[in-house]
Structure 1
Amino acid sequence: MRTTVDQPFEAALASVRTALGLQGFDILTENDLAGGLKKKLRVDVASLVILCACSSAPAGRGQRAEEATGALLPCSVVVRAAGQGRTVVEALDPLTGLEGNDDTALQVVAGAAAGRLRSVLVSLHAAAAGTTPGTEVPTGVSSARQEAEEGGGHGARP
């Protein structure tokens, strides 16, 4: 899942943190990939931060449903500068990791987390566009399946 917002990186990163919190996610870790590459390899890349977010209630239900839930959690959210005051926000769809798994309880938990992540992206897109989020997904928010069908296929995985 992804969206691009017309916000500079730092403002978008703050908006993502807020939007995740409003959807019940806690940020467990934050990895400044650009800073790490600069420090360890002296490589300059555009600003890029990976947030590992977890929603405690669904995570607890998932853990009770299937002990292997830990492999699906936390949810990865990538925030990266796209240049010219724009920022890309990508989230790994938790349902993607369940392909081939028929555990209905786990599918429900992953579906709930995916819905919350989609709500985060929709709210970011709407806020950056100066509109109120509606029930429809704006064209600026896409899923991995949509991107694969359109030939992009790379946007859902950070």
Structure 2
Amino acid sequence: MYGFTTTLTDASLDQALARTIEALKAEGFGVLSDIDVQRAMKDKLGVEMRPYRILGACNPPLAHQALQAEPDIGLLLPCNVVVREEAPGRVVMGFLDPQTMVGLVDKPEIKSVADQAEQRLRRACGSLGGAV
């Protein structure tokens, strides 16, 4: 699997989004980008879909370590987090597993960074209190 998820059954998308951003912040991540996929699909294709956001999360010290070890690792950064509404009141938050980088970049320094990032992202995911 390339990620891990949790599901909230007692929250709106906006509430889940705010909780996710706070959980990321508590683990040292900031949100560099926030892509509103629902809006993009409506604007570009005229397609209706449920709310769906992609957050580009970055932990600057870990990103710096990774970039020092492999300058092209930026192709795999930032860590993506998806916040999507499955049904009213049911929101899924999905976190990219940083270990996916390890399989693509064969460097021990990247493994160390991925291990640290994974621990932090799993804690953030777990702190949201939803069903895993």
Alpha-carbon distance in 2 for matches of 1:68, 1:43: 35
Q: Structure 2: 5+ residue runs without aligned partners?
A: none
Change (3 A) 1:60 1:89: same
Equivalent residue number for residue 52 of structure 2:
48
What is the deviation of 1:100? Answer: 5.5
* Residue matched to 1:37: 41
Letter paired with 2:79: C
Partner residue of 1:135? none
RMSD over equivalenced CA pairs, Å: 1.3
Amino acid in structure 2 at the alignment position of 1:4: T
TM-score by length of 1: 0.76
CA separation in 2, counterparts of 1:109 and 1:56?
A: 11
Match of 2:94 among 90, 95, 103: 90
Between Structure 1 and Structure 2, the one with more strand by share is: 2
Comparing 28-37 with 99-108, which one deviates more in the overlay? 99-108
3-state SS of the aligned residue for 1:99? helix
Secondary structure of 1:3 counterpart? strand
Instruction: Verify the 8 A CA contact 2:99 2:111 in the aligned structure 1.
Output: yes
Pick from 80, 84, 94 the counterpart of residue 80 of structure 1.
Answer: 84
| Structure having greater relative contact order (Cα 8 Å, sep ≥ 6) | 2
Partner of 1:118: 122
Whether 2:117 is the aligned partner of 1:108: answer no
SS in 2 for 1:45: coil
Structure 2 length-normalised TM: 0.90
Q: Displacement of 1:110 after TM fit?
A: 1.0
Opposite residue 6 of structure 2, the aligned amino acid is: T
* Map of 1:63 onto structure 2: 67
